[in-house]
Amino acid sequence: MAEPIRLSKRDATRRENEARILAAAEKVFAEAGFGGATMQLIADMAGLPKANLHYYFATKEELYRKVVQNIFEIWLHAADVFDNAPGPVEGIGAYIEAKMEISRRHPEGSKVWASEVMHGAPVIQDYLETTLRDWTTGRSRLIQKWIDEGKMDPIDPEHLLYMLWATTQHYADFGHQIETLNGGRKLSEKQWKAAKDSVRRIILHGIGAL
């Protein structure tokens, strides 16, 4: 118990404050969009005076950019399960599972990302053109390999990826609509399982991998 972590009091509070601000910002940006969000509201939700926000993040854009970057990191990590899979059933199946879980656990982040892209990706255009493009071509090649090996039907890999993104993110981005159609109640554990199974089954069956 002597040295749990080597952190001065300064570094500790700095980390905690930054984390609180980022968490509050993610929620506010998700609920109101970039234009509708206010630094004051983020400050209140983080329990800090507004001026303190500007000490850690100079501008609203800088704070927003950090939020979007954090989300992008999470998404990229979700793709780890894709690689090293022997075939589409394992790879795509695990990817669906991972992304559905993200939609469930981080719906705010997903909404911020969706909002950013929908508005023309004003702050993360470079990420789309570099990291995301590389990621996409890499997975496309992997899918094409599975096709060549006869493990699934010949499907356009890019459109398949779009379909994976669309279906999984839908449960976060349109969660409110789904809840409303569900009688105003959040999806239960059983319903989430049914959602995952439906998506998994239709897609894997749809590409001839089952």
Partner DNA sequence: CCACAACCTGACCAACCGGTCAACAAATTT
Partner DNA sequence: AAATTTGTTGACCGGTTGGTCAGGTTGTGG
Written as one string, the DSSP assignment of 152-172 is: S----HHHHHHHHHHHHHHHH
84: left (phi over 0), alpha (psi -120 to 50) or beta: left
| Tokens encoding 33 | 């969009």
Quick check: 17 binds DNA (CB under 7 A)? yes
How many residues at the interface with DNA, by CB under 7 A? 23
> Near DNA by CB under 7 A, which window of 59-67, 118-126, 136-144, 153-161?
59-67
Judged by CB, which is closer to DNA: 64, or 146?
Answer: 64
Judged by CB, which is closer to DNA: 65, or 170?
Answer: 65
Judged by CB, which is closer to DNA: 17, or 144?
Answer: 17
47: left (phi over 0), alpha (psi -120 to 50) or beta: left
Residue 50 touches which of DNA, a second copy, none (Cβ within 5-8 Å per kind)? DNA
Please enumerate, as own/partner, the contacts of 49-52 that have beta carbons within 8 Å and a separation of 24 or more.
Answer: 52/17
Residues that bind a second copy (CB under 8 A): 30-37, 111, 114-115, 117-121, 125, 128-129, 132-133, 136, 153, 155-156, 158-160, 162-163, 165-167, 169-171, 173-174, 176-178, 180-181, 194-195, 198-199, 201-208
Residue 60 touches which of a second copy, DNA, none (Cβ within 5-8 Å per kind)? DNA
Number of H helices, E strands in the chain: 11, 0
Judged by CB, which is closer to a second copy: 23, or 128?
Answer: 128
N-term to C-term CA, the chain: 52
Quick check: 140 binds DNA (CB under 7 A)? no
Quick check: 61 binds DNA (CB under 7 A)? yes
